[in-house]
Amino acid sequence: MINRPPKFLFLHLLLAFLLAAMAIGDVTPGSTLYASDTDQAWLSPTQTFSFGFIPLSPQSSPPSFLAAIYYSGGIPIWTAGAPVDSAGSLQFLSTGTLRLLNGSSSIVWDSNTGNLGVSSASLDDFGNLVLKNDTATVWSSFDNPVDTIVPSQNFTVGKVLRSGLYTFSLLSYGNITLTWNNSITYWNKGLNSSFNSENSSLNSPSLELQSIGTLSVFDETLPSVGAIMVYSDDYAEAGDMLRFLKLDNDGNLRIYSSQRGSGTLTDRWAAVEDQCRVYGYCGDMGICSYNDTGPICRCPSQNFEFIDPKDSRKGCKRKVETEDCPGNVTMLDLEHTLLLTYPPQSVFGGGSESEVFFIAVSACRLNCLSNAGGCEASTVLSDGTGQCYLKKPGYITGYSSPALPSTSHIKVCSPVLPNPLPSQLSGKSSGWRVHGWTLIVQGVAIVFGLISLEAGLWLWCFRNSPRFGGLSAQYALLEYASGAPVQFWYKDLQRATKGFKEKLGTGGFGSVYKGVLANGMVVAVKQLEGIEQGEKQFRMEVATISSTHHLNLVRLIGFCSEGRHRLLVYEFMKNGSLDQFLFITNNQTGKLLNWEQRFSIALGTAKAITYLHEECHDCIVHCDIKPENILLDENYTAKVSDFGLAKLIHAKEHRSLASIRGTRGYLAPEWLSNLPITSKSDIYSYGMVLLEIVGGFRNFEMSAETNMKKFSVWAYEEFEKGNVWGIVDRRLAGHQGVDMEQVMRAIQVSFWCIQEQPSLRPRMEKVVRMLEGIVEIDKPPSLLAVPEQSISGFNTYLSSDVSNFSHSHTLSGPAPTSSSSFQAASLSTPASEGNLERASSALLRSED
């Protein structure tokens, strides 16, 4: 990018106008432009574009110049050949050819239009340089694109934009692609499902960038306005500016905009959001990752060195080739690292560069190691397929990020010399390095002494520091759980959330913020509050949470445990929480869930809880099931969040009422009595949520519509009367496709779940089968089996935090137990049903 100081620019423009004004309009053969005189140029009629030399960069030495068509302000949109020295020149020869010469008179570029009758050249206001004979255009810069497309430039099949080894092209079936070295396609975008197959009916598609910032494909078979493929961020914004599409030398395709005369660029769209996913960005054996400012290239380990120490993007090479250490070859293990694998490599039977297997990581590694000449590295893709790729010797390029679940292995000569850990590269240790470096000059002997001293000091300093401990604990954790969560530094999360700016909500355990990780992944960051646990216990819980994988559970990506900070990083759910859809005012119809969506959310939630209770490794009682904790993804799939957190809060042996964060209306009655909390408490909460999904009403809300009764109580009465339609959300009335059988099942299941007596409530697995209609549902017993003033009444009076409970004077019924006597069995080991029933019936008796 050209970045010239404004003063220079102004001078340039002024001089260009004064000296070269005569070059507006047609230029006849015989004219010459000199690199030494950058003020000379051929101008377009309104001087929007110029053709001439621009310095490659102000300080390049020796100075070199580009022969370019450039936009007002000096932004090149087309360049001829390569940079030349200050003695270079551009000659419009009398034969009609345009030729770029270096100082040594060597031909750098030629338009190859000699002896075709070319009689004039001109630059138009779209930036197109045209060589014409008397009747027609013989050559134009628009037909010979380099790395840029500007508005009104027609880009057709067969043309390419090129930058280094990267190319951009339009395919005959309408897809646009980015390709590395004419072989590996790392970005591929089609029109839509009706056009993206090779069989699509396009005749001769062409691509055009509109000046308002859209990139569209045109074809006879498409509507005349074209099919829009890309919108720039500043799409349709007004202003005197040029937008253009450019293939940059980092392999990314971008839309830029530049204000007239400013000489500066703003990028408005990039094809590959995650720069590290551009094939070969870091060269052969280079590993891409991010630092605070952007992508950086490193070598996989210290068994490698940069090919060109001055340009880390050129890639790495082994210090000792594997052929030179037969019998001593081993695998370098790279956690959270992906070796990029794109078509044709990733297609079965496609390329010769890799082989695909469905095997575990360790088998993948072993297979490669034992395959003497045929395998150089192995990688497991993070696309959920669980595929193992064995890479044949050739070009290998990687991406490393704490958020990548991939693991890779590369053959090296032993011993393995891992890269220093990130923490060793920052903070205190770098200070030590600089110190050591100044001393090195003083003498080799001292240096050796110092290095060992430094190492000793470093170890001593960090022996007990939380960071050092944190790292070792992190690796212990990696071994503990297969779907290992990633550890983040607090400052990384601060940056990802822009200083905890965009709050998504506040839950019982703390606030949740939206964030974007360095690799572009959108996440929800939960800042936990009130954690009383130590570091080690926190990590254990995080490991438990992250070992639970279910379609209907929000995935934990990582965590942060640094000093007093405890944060959890979750995948981001586009559509927010269920309550925002259920409890809305009549006129927000866009957010109204139809019955099919509601039923699938109810079933999904039930399946998630079943998994937590019965199927996962360490059983988890959720303790806070409510619509706010049921999130919806873009397809309205239910994802339960906040599971496993109750354990974190209830760390103390004696749990006090104050620490309960359950929510009013959803808390099972046993929370308020001296009974153990078991999975049955979750069933109660689920029943309340299920009723709300059907009715669109908060279960504890009273209104004229419900005869001033709690919705749940009123609903049961209506059910007894046989008025099932009355319970269903009236906004669904008149909607097609409300399956009354499903409604009936859901209502009955919910009444079973919200029974006061835990033993009467079904297990979650049975709830699923009842909802699915696999098992018969008996008529649920009355909710009022227990007298009105019994424990059931408490829910209504509970504020959102039960801690207020003990101060409440509005309660009737048994007085709450004092905090110190509130001792529930461990949440992770639910009390046996027998005990529970005894306790529960004892309580009921005492009330009678």
222, 504, 630, 783: residue in contact with ligand NAG (rule CB under 6 A)? 222
Query: Is 397:354 a contact under the CB 8 Å cutoff?
Result: no
Nearest to 341 by CA among 214, 186, 205, 558: 186
Concerning whether 624 is annotated as a catalytic residue, the answer is yes
CB of 81 to ligand NAG, least distance (A): 6
Only one of the segments 291-299, 488-496, 501-509, 697-705 lies at the binding site for ligand NAG (rule: CB under 6 A); that segment is 291-299
List residues bridging with 246 in a β-sheet.
148, 254
385 binds ligand NAG (CB under 6 A): no
227 binds ligand NAG (CB under 6 A): yes
204 binds ligand NAG (CB under 6 A): yes
Question: Is residue 779 part of an annotated ligand binding site?
Answer: no
85 binds ligand NAG (CB under 6 A): yes
537 φ, ψ to 5°? -65, -40
Quote the tokens at residue 555: 């995935």
DSSP type of residue 376: S
DSSP type of residue 688: H
57, 120, 188, 817: residue in contact with ligand NAG (rule CB under 6 A)? 188
Q: Alpha-carbon distance 364 to 370, whole Å?
A: 10
199 binds ligand NAG (CB under 6 A): yes
Q: What is the rounded radius of gyration, in angstroms, for the C-alpha atoms of the chain?
A: 34
9, 15, 93, 108: residue in contact with ligand NAG (rule CB under 6 A)? 108
32, 60, 197, 221: residue in contact with ligand NAG (rule CB under 6 A)? 197
Residue 802's identity, in one-letter code, is V
Q: b/e for 467-486, b at 16 or more Cβ within 10 A?
A: ebebbebbeebbebbeebbb
Question: Would you say the C-alpha torsion 267, 272, 277, 278 has a positive or negative sign?
Answer: negative
How big is the site for ligand NAG, counted in residues (CB under 6 A)?
A: 54
147, 624, 642, 682: which one is catalytic? Answer: 624
CA atoms within a 13 Å half-sphere pointing along the CA-CB vector of 312: 10
Nearest to 796 by CA among 720, 688, 705: 688
CB of 298 to ligand NAG, least distance (A): 9
C-beta of 108 vs 359, nearer to ligand NAG: 108
75, 84, 161, 768: residue in contact with ligand NAG (rule CB under 6 A)? 84
194 binds ligand NAG (CB under 6 A): yes
Going from the C-alpha of 667 to that of each of 306, 531, 683, the distances in angstroms are 61, 21, 10
115, 192, 464, 810: residue in contact with ligand NAG (rule CB under 6 A)? 192
CB of 247 to ligand NAG, least distance (A): 17
Would you give the binding string for ligand NAG spanning residues 559-598, x where CB under 6 A is met? ---------------xx---------x-x---x-------
395 binds ligand NAG (CB under 6 A): yes
47, 120, 140, 206: residue in contact with ligand NAG (rule CB under 6 A)? 206
Burial class (CB within 10 angstroms; exposed 0-12, middle 13-18, buried 19+) of 7 = exposed
Query: Is 336:405 a contact under the CB 8 Å cutoff?
Result: yes
Q: Which of residues 327-356 bind ligand NAG (CB under 6 A)?
A: 327-328
172 binds ligand NAG (CB under 6 A): no
C-beta of 488 vs 716, nearer to ligand NAG: 488
Query: Is 40:22 a contact under the CB 8 Å cutoff?
Result: no
DSSP type of residue 294: S
Instruction: Count the neighbouring beta carbons within 10 Å of the beta carbon of residue 796.
Output: 15
Grouping H, G, I as helix, E, B as strand and the rest as coil, residue 16 is: helix
Only one of the segments 192-200, 352-360, 685-693, 739-747 lies at the binding site for ligand NAG (rule: CB under 6 A); that segment is 192-200
112 binds ligand NAG (CB under 6 A): no
Only one of the segments 263-271, 289-297, 698-706, 809-817 lies at the binding site for ligand NAG (rule: CB under 6 A); that segment is 289-297
Q: Which long-range contacts (CB under 8 A, 24 or more apart) does 582-589 make?
A: 582/627, 582/692, 582/693, 582/696, 583/627, 583/692, 583/696, 583/697, 583/698, 586/731, 589/731
191 binds ligand NAG (CB under 6 A): yes
C-beta of 457 vs 592, nearer to ligand NAG: 592
List residues bridging with 98 in a β-sheet.
92
CA atoms within a 13 Å half-sphere pointing along the CA-CB vector of 549: 8
C-beta of 189 vs 565, nearer to ligand NAG: 189
CB of 341 to ligand NAG, least distance (A): 15
435 binds ligand NAG (CB under 6 A): no
Would you give the binding string for ligand NAG spanning residues 114-153, x where CB under 6 A is met? ---x---------------xxxx-x---------------
Q: Alpha-carbon distance 421 to 699, whole Å?
A: 53
472 binds ligand NAG (CB under 6 A): no
3, 46, 60, 104: residue in contact with ligand NAG (rule CB under 6 A)? 104
Nearest to 139 by CA among 165, 178, 112: 112
Helices (H), 347-401: 361-370
CB of 824 to ligand NAG, least distance (A): 37
Query: Is 756:791 a contact under the CB 8 Å cutoff?
Result: yes
List residues bridging with 379 in a β-sheet.
389, 408
CB of 186 to ligand NAG, least distance (A): 13
Which helix (H) or strand (E) is 835 found in, with range? helix 833-847
499 binds ligand NAG (CB under 6 A): no
103 binds ligand NAG (CB under 6 A): yes
Name the site residues for ligand NAG (rule: CB under 6 A).
82, 84-85, 102-104, 106, 108, 117, 133-136, 138, 154, 156, 173, 175, 181, 188-194, 196-199, 204, 206, 208, 218, 222, 227, 291-293, 296, 325, 327-328, 395, 414-415, 574-575, 585, 587, 591, 633-635
Active site residues: 624
Annotated binding site: 526
Annotated binding site for ATP: 526
